[in-house]
Amino acid sequence: MTFDRDKIQQSGFKDTVIVFLTQGKQIDKVHYTNETIVRQGDDLAKVQLKQRG
């Protein structure tokens, strides 16, 4: 099985994006993008972690 990143990017597949946030107790705020179409490299979420200490 091969993985051809260029071919995948050119094909324009419409996939579902799932974001898993681990260490949930450390998360203070999360803001997800409102865009319905995203491309590789786009910001999907901004996460603010709680201060340590």
For the whole model, what pTM was predicted? 0.57
Residue indicated by tokens 């946030």 = 21
The domains of the chain are located at 5-49
- Of 25, 23, 31, 34, the closest CA to residue 47 belongs to 31
Say what the pLDDT of residue 50 is. Answer: 93
Asked if the model's pLDDT at residue 24 lies above 70, the reply is yes
Residue range 33-47, pLDDT digits in tens: 998 888 778 898 999
Helix, strand, coil share (%) of the chain residues, nearest 5:
20, 20, 60
Average pLDDT, the chain: 83
Asked if the model's pLDDT at residue 1 lies above 70, the reply is no
Asked if the model's pLDDT at residue 3 lies above 90, the reply is no
CA distance 28 to 50: 5
